[in-house]
Amino acid sequence: MDNSHRWNILSEMPRCMPDDRRGACQSRHQGGCIMGIETKGMSRRSFLGAGAVVAAGAAFAGLAGCSPSGETKGAEATSAAAAGETRDLGSASFELTADTKQADETKEVDIVVVGSGMGGFSAALTAIEEGAKSVVLLEKNNSLGGSTNMAECPAGARPFEYTEEEARAAAAGAQADSYGVSDPMLLYSMFRDAKENFSWLFDTHGVGWTKQGEAPAFYEGGNGKIAIEKLAAAAEKENGLEVLTETPATQLLLSDEYTVEGVRAKTKDGKYVDYKAKAVVLATGGMSTNKTLLAGYTSQDLDKTIGWGQGQDGDGHLMAEQTAHGRANHLTVDSLFNNVKDFSYDSALGVCVAMQPSNFWVNQDGLRFMNENISSTAVSGKVVETQGSVWSIVDADGIQKYAEVGCQRHYSGFADKLVGNAIDGLQDEVDKAVSGNDECFKADTIADLAKEIGVDADNLADEIEKYNTGTDAEWGKEAENMWPIATAPFYAFRISSGMLNTSGGIRINTNAQVVDDRYKPIAGLYAAGVCTSGWDGEVYGNGTCQANALFCGRTAAKHIVKNLL
């Protein structure tokens, strides 16, 4: 394949490129293989050997197979499972059952969509609207929406309408922001189709959005819960669209490694149903809530991160690995803001102690290491990860000030409501944290606090003394953001990087078709949302999760109806 012209998209988009080649500039270095992830005798579910795929007889390609260059070679990859290796899948629902296992029931449908977030609902609804007669949407959890419920906005595609020239420029900018690891062809396609897709979301289905605080556009209510409610209500009205909760997809059904014929699901009562379908859309989210599995796909120090979202367990990645796609690409961790272990992503206390310019942070040595005024940005998560540990120190007056006057600022929908407003119950949240969270502490003296968190007491005392002068000669922090630390009791909260999601994963082209490492499509298999690769690098691109999920879901549905039904 001649890819010599492919980067020209940044200046001139080739208009005659065949559909099955669009997307072929996916960054190859995302596809590295992490060695040593396979373990014996510790798996909750073992990956069985070659031939275990139902009705396939094909090897489970690429579980740990690596070429010398570090790339998985699709169908050529050797499964470590075939040699008796196993690995712990954590909270994933994937189950590769032997081909002798018969389903309790078999059903025939047009399309199966796995996952009920923005990618899943946009695929399912669009498919029905485009003419599909029977669509089943499978959700493993007991509620709908997945991580879209906490998503704030689809601002990655703002202002929601682009000319072709503007779409090219936006793709170039987004690729630069990702330091070149994102796919400019996917980005261009997303921006180009933004007007139609967001009209479908906002106008056709009545999903609201609003400007809130400093941010450009948020979903109505500040997150995606209302959006999911409206899409779910629309789904209920559609004949031929069935939505099932507590029904995880456990594996793909294949005729060979390049042909998907459906999916196996597990019902609430433990029965297995084989859904024979013309196409399957994987909209399963990333891997950020399954650190056990994620550890084998990333070099990230996960002990310094907190996973956000719901049901991002890597199920789609594992199902794609049944096919010639091979092993999912190396995953990076998108950092967004910071937080404290066991705090919800929208915790008022978390916003106060981990995301404010008035924060006072020290590392494992009791030393300040940055100007905390960047603590509300995506970048700050990566800064936190450069230290052995990070502690946010605040005194009684600081907690009281947050409670009375609220936060100083925040660039997010869930926290903007805290800016300049009293925060009811904040002290109760503090008291609960220090009594039941092993990363939250309270002490009557700085020396005792240093002992509790294991940092050098002299260093901590010296840093606080310098800070309390109101002049930051070392890091240049503004005086108005230097709240004194002088009144007992004193509190310490260990800060971790907020892991919004994972980037990388399943390779797709601009039809949202899952492809092998040479971009040959896997017939009948599509993917949408953050389980796919090509969108972000190490640092989260604002709004890209929802924008790509909407684009991929609708694109997949249209391609399926046009070409397979």
Pick the last residue of a domain from 466, 494, 522. 494
Terminal alpha carbon distance of the chain: 29
Rounded to the nearest 5°, which phi and psi values hold at 465? Answer: -60, -45
By the 8 A CB rule, do 231 and 117 touch? no
Claim to verify: residue 154 and residue 174 sit in the same structural domain: yes
Residues 421 and 511 in one domain: no
Q: Tell me, yes or no, whether 20 lies in a domain.
A: yes
Whether pLDDT at 77 is above 50: no
Which string of b and e fits 457-491 if b means at least 16 CB within 10 Å? eebbbebbeebeeeebeeeebeeebbbebeeebbb
**% of the chain surpassing 90 pLDDT:** 44
Quickly state the pLDDT bin for 78 (edges 50, 70, 90): very low
**Residue 301 resides in a domain:** yes
User: Does 293 fall in a domain?
Assistant: yes
Residues 558 and 433 placed together within one structural domain of the fold = no
Residue pair 92/522 in contact (Cβ under 8 Å)? The answer is no
Looking at residue 216, what DSSP letter applies?
E
- Assess contact for 65 and 73: CB atoms under 8 A: yes
Calpha distance 449→385 (Å, rounded): 22
How do residues 375-394 score in pLDDT, each as one tens digit?
A: 655 566 678 888 999 999 99
Which of 494, 526, 555 is the last residue before a domain boundary?
494
Burial 59-81 (b: 16+ CB within 10 A, else e): bbbbbbbbeeeebbbbbebbbbb
pLDDT tens digit sequence for 212-269: 555 556 777 667 788 888 998 999 899 999 999 999 999 999 999 999 999 999 999 9
* 374 found inside a domain: yes
Confirm whether 4 is domain-assigned: no
The pLDDT value given to residue 416: 63
Do 185 and 92 lie in one domain? The reply is yes
In a domain, 21, yes or no: yes
Q: Is 336 among the domain residues? A: no
Which range marks the domain in which residue 162 is found? 10-330+505-564
Provide the Cα torsion 314, 282, 80, 254; round to 10°: 150
Of 452, 475, 494, which closes a domain? 494
Q: Assign 3-class secondary structure to 292-327.
A: HHHCCCCCCCHHHEEECCCCCCCHHHHHHCCCCCCC
Residue positions counted in the chain: 565
Instruction: Summarize pLDDT for 27-59 with one digit per residue, the tens.
Output: 333 333 322 333 323 332 333 233 333 333 333
Helix (H, G, I), strand (E, B) or coil at 221: helix
- Is there a single domain that holds both residue 57 and residue 201? yes
1 found inside a domain: no
Q: Are residues 379 and 524 in the same domain?
A: no
Q: Are residues 16 and 73 in the same domain?
A: yes
**If DSSP codes are grouped into helix, strand and coil, which group holds residue 200?**
helix
Other beta carbons within 10 Å of 404: 11
The distance from CA 50 to its chain's CA centroid, rounded to whole angstroms, is 30
Reference 130, options 479, 564, 497; nearest CA is 564
Please state at what angle helix 118-130 crosses helix 544-564, rounded to 10 degrees.
Answer: 30
* 323/451 same-domain check: no
pTM confidence score: 0.78
- Domain CATH number, residue 280: 3.50.50.60
